[in-house]
A and B are shown apart, each in its own frame.
Chain A
Amino acid sequence: MTEPLLRIEDLRIWFSTRTSDVRAVDGVDLDILPGEVLGLVGESGSGKSVTARSIMRLVPMPPGRLVSGRVLFHGEDLTTLPEREMEDLRGSRISMIFQDPMTFLNPLFTAGNQVAEAIRRHQHLDSASAREEVIRLFRQVGIPSPETRFDAYPHQLSGGLRQRVMIAMALSSRPELLIADEPTTALDVTIQAQILALLRDLQQEYGMGILLITHDLGVVAEMCDRVAVMYAGRIVEKAPIQSLFDRPEHPYSLGLMNAIPRPDLPGIAPQPIPGSPPDMANPPTGCPFHPRCPYREPICSDEFPPERDMGDGHVAACHFAGIKTFSPLAHTASSVSS
């Protein structure tokens, strides 16, 4: 087995409020292999973004607090790395792109300067060569007339162009790992497809690992090699992409699938998961998903489900993984039993 590029072990990050601890991330284990695209999916508030940010130590602490866990990059624990070395790593060997390219670009600096800043931080170039390099990158990420775009301010660019600027910035030092946090959510549908295509091309070219965070299973199907499904601060299911879509072993994964429109199954309407994610200051006992689960049994509210290995790298944290069949769209027919 290949050595993972990134390994997250038992990561717990809690946020302290005046009265209680909010368990945003509560025991995450995750591997990303070199050159692999791993999708991390879940509803908003499931802890995806905090998990992603904790890799680069971008979670503000306080109020955040690392309760347990390690983040190993090439076997080196990033959680204990001196800040100085962490800074050298950020934007060079690990990069990140964000959801909304408008708010994540500084409105007071030109697009080109913001990318050049990243280049000059990690490669020792003078400003003229940095400019050359930015223009080359702009061309590579498909920004038309890159020379003039260099001097444009973010508010003068379209959403798609801004995201391309972000991508140019993130790739400027040829990272081994790219973390993409909902990179297409804020964009128009047509632009979304272009940006995903660009990311896929660049991933092929650079051979980098990508952690793609999204709530959109359609994006996952298009981009990823493997998927991890996150719920209430934990990974509830990890599987190769085909395996997950064919045979989801956690009712939550199934719920997510049923919630998206299926053009291949006409006549079946998308079915949102009933209820809402739990209050992570007071998580439910047992399986955190049990209050919303159509397949729940008494054991679900009493015992926390262990991870069950279904073979071929498919694991699920459900008492009934491999026992009950969670066939797609099954629970739309049978009424919710309780």
Chain B
Amino acid sequence: MAAEVSQLAIAQVPEAAHSPWSMFWWRLRHNPKAMIGGAIVLFLVMVALTAPLIAPKDPTDGELGDSLAPPGQAYALGADKNGRDVLSRLIYGTRTAIGGALMVVLISELVGVPIGIWAAYRGGWVDETITRIWDMLLSFPPLLIAFAVVAAFGPGLPKAALALGILYVPFIARVVRSVTLVQKEMAYTEAARALGYGQARIIFRHILPNCISPVIVVTTIDIAYAMLDLAALSYLGLGVQPPTADWGTMLSEGQLVLLNAPHLALASGLAIVLAVLGFNLLGDGLRDVLDPRQAQR
């Protein structure tokens, strides 16, 4: 009964567009989550790219006399303990946040995509072993293992990003594996093999193109997670090291002066929320648009 009704509903969704691309745009434009998230992400990327042009002051150089100056004429969002301009540090922090998160997901993709394809392609015990291992890793919080990594290798953004990147591999590999499994069975792949195409050609012509949209969805959402995890590491003093401008570090500095200068913590915290929200919304929206069946669950 309910199924009957929803079938009717699905049949009624208008598909004005015909080509896959125009249909994609049509759906994207009508998805508020994707539009809001996309706008936030676009804004942050612009800020990151133009940071030297738009930042009013040097983010690492402060006037000690202006320590903890409140927001006002000289400093739009006030100054931090070292008299550095909070707004400029926020602007440069965009670079650290997006750059760090991109590093994490790029590492996870570089490792995860080949592993996912390999697992699905080889099947058998290779597949089983790999899936087992990542199922276990997925159930354990990455941050906890990252703590151990930092304890062993010492703090710093590159090390933290590398550790998280490797711990994020299962998120990507799992998706790539399931896409590959489907594509492997698809009739045209069979046909391609019968025509004598090599493995490489099947992978590059059939499997990789079909991985693009699910990988984009997972990557967008993983960026949000990576931002949260990196911010947490920096907040604990284990990630980005001073004097680099970073939101997590700013937040932890801000907490120390919360009583006299709450603007420092508020500004950096809200920046994190905005960025994570942007990528979360964009990821959710893209999933609705690119993979409607998955999204209904």
> Could you list which residues of chain A lie within 8 angstroms of chain B, going by C-beta atoms?
15, 17-20, 22, 24, 45, 49-50, 53, 60, 63-64, 279-281
How far is B3's CA from A15's CA once the two chains are assembled, in angstroms? 13
Contacts of A22 in B (CB 8 A): 8, 12
Q: Please give the distance in Å from B276's CB to the nearest CB on chain A.
A: 31
Contacts of A53 in B (CB 8 A): 1
Contacts of B4 in A (CB 8 A): 45, 49
Query: Are A60 and B2 CB-contacts (below 8 A) given A18-B13, A19-B14?
Result: yes
> Could you list which residues of chain B lie within 8 angstroms of chain A, going by C-beta atoms?
1-2, 4-5, 8-9, 11-14
Partner of A60, one of B5, B13, B14: B5
26 A-B pairs with C-beta separation under 8 A: A15-B5, A15-B8, A15-B9, A17-B8, A18-B9, A18-B13, A19-B12, A19-B14, A20-B12, A22-B8, A22-B12, A24-B8, A45-B4, A49-B1, A49-B4, A50-B1, A53-B1, A60-B2, A63-B5, A63-B9, A64-B5, A279-B11, A280-B8, A281-B8, A281-B11, A281-B12
Q: Please give the distance in Å from B32's CB to the nearest CB on chain A.
A: 14
In the complex, the chain B residue whose C-beta lies closest to that of A49 is B1
Contacts of B14 in A (CB 8 A): 18-19
Q: Please give the distance in Å from B170's CB to the nearest CB on chain A.
A: 32
Contacts of B5 in A (CB 8 A): 15, 60, 63-64
Q: Please give the distance in Å from A300's CB to the nearest CB on chain B.
A: 26
Interface of A is mostly: loop
How far is B1's CA from A24's CA once the two chains are assembled, in angstroms? 12
Contacts between chains A and B (CB distance < 8 A), count: 32
Contacts of A19 in B (CB 8 A): 12-14
Contacts of B1 in A (CB 8 A): 49-50, 53
How far is B11's CA from A280's CA once the two chains are assembled, in angstroms? 11
Q: Please give the distance in Å from B15's CB to the nearest CB on chain A.
A: 11
Contacts of A63 in B (CB 8 A): 5, 9
Q: Please give the distance in Å from B50's CB to the nearest CB on chain A.
A: 40
How far is B5's CA from A281's CA once the two chains are assembled, in angstroms? 12
Contacts of A280 in B (CB 8 A): 8
Extra A-B contacts (7), CB below 8 Å, given A18-B13, A19-B12: A18-B9, A22-B8, A22-B12, A60-B5, A63-B5, A64-B5, A281-B12
Q: Please give the distance in Å from B62's CB to the nearest CB on chain A.
A: 55
Q: Please give the distance in Å from B29's CB to the nearest CB on chain A.
A: 15
Q: Please give the distance in Å from A15's CB to the nearest CB on chain B.
A: 6
Q: Please give the distance in Å from A154's CB to the nearest CB on chain B.
A: 19
Q: Please give the distance in Å from B14's CB to the nearest CB on chain A.
A: 6
In the complex, the chain B residue whose C-beta lies closest to that of A98 is B1
Contact present for B2 and A18 (CB under 8 Å): no
Name the residue among A17, A63, A281 with the largest chain B CB count within 10 angstroms.
A17
Q: Please give the distance in Å from B46's CB to the nearest CB on chain A.
A: 34
How far is B2's CA from A60's CA once the two chains are assembled, in angstroms? 8
In the complex, the chain B residue whose C-beta lies closest to that of A63 is B5
Name the residue among B2, B9, B14 with the largest chain A CB count within 10 angstroms.
B9
Lowest 9 A-B CB distances belong to which pairs? A17-B12, A17-B9, A22-B8, A19-B12, A15-B5, A19-B14, A49-B1, A20-B12, A15-B8
In the complex, the chain A residue whose C-beta lies closest to that of B1 is A49
How far is B4's CA from A20's CA once the two chains are assembled, in angstroms? 16
How far is B5's CA from A255's CA once the two chains are assembled, in angstroms? 26
How far is B14's CA from A15's CA once the two chains are assembled, in angstroms? 17
Contacts of A49 in B (CB 8 A): 1, 4
Q: Please give the distance in Å from B31's CB to the nearest CB on chain A.
A: 14
Contacts of A18 in B (CB 8 A): 9, 12-14
Contacts of A24 in B (CB 8 A): 8
How far is B9's CA from A19's CA once the two chains are assembled, in angstroms? 9
In the complex, the chain A residue whose C-beta lies closest to that of B7 is A45
How far is B4's CA from A49's CA once the two chains are assembled, in angstroms? 10
In the complex, the chain B residue whose C-beta lies closest to that of A181 is B1
Contacts of B2 in A (CB 8 A): 60
In the complex, the chain B residue whose C-beta lies closest to that of A22 is B8
Contacts of A64 in B (CB 8 A): 5
Name the residue among B2, B5, B11 with the largest chain A CB count within 10 angstroms.
B5
How far is B8's CA from A49's CA once the two chains are assembled, in angstroms? 15
How far is B11's CA from A49's CA once the two chains are assembled, in angstroms? 19
Contacts of A17 in B (CB 8 A): 8-9, 12
How far is B14's CA from A50's CA once the two chains are assembled, in angstroms? 25
Contacts of A15 in B (CB 8 A): 5, 8-9
Contacts of B11 in A (CB 8 A): 279, 281
How far is B5's CA from A22's CA once the two chains are assembled, in angstroms? 9
How far is B4's CA from A254's CA once the two chains are assembled, in angstroms? 26
Name the residue among A15, A24, A60, A281 with the largest chain B CB count within 10 angstroms.
A15
Contacts of B9 in A (CB 8 A): 15, 17-18, 63
Q: Please give the distance in Å from A183's CB to the nearest CB on chain B.
A: 15
In the complex, the chain B residue whose C-beta lies closest to that of A99 is B1
Q: Please give the distance in Å from A18's CB to the nearest CB on chain B.
A: 6
Q: Please give the distance in Å from A50's CB to the nearest CB on chain B.
A: 8
How far is B30's CA from A18's CA once the two chains are assembled, in angstroms? 13
Contacts of A281 in B (CB 8 A): 8, 11-12
How far is B5's CA from A97's CA once the two chains are assembled, in angstroms? 20
How far is B4's CA from A17's CA once the two chains are assembled, in angstroms? 13
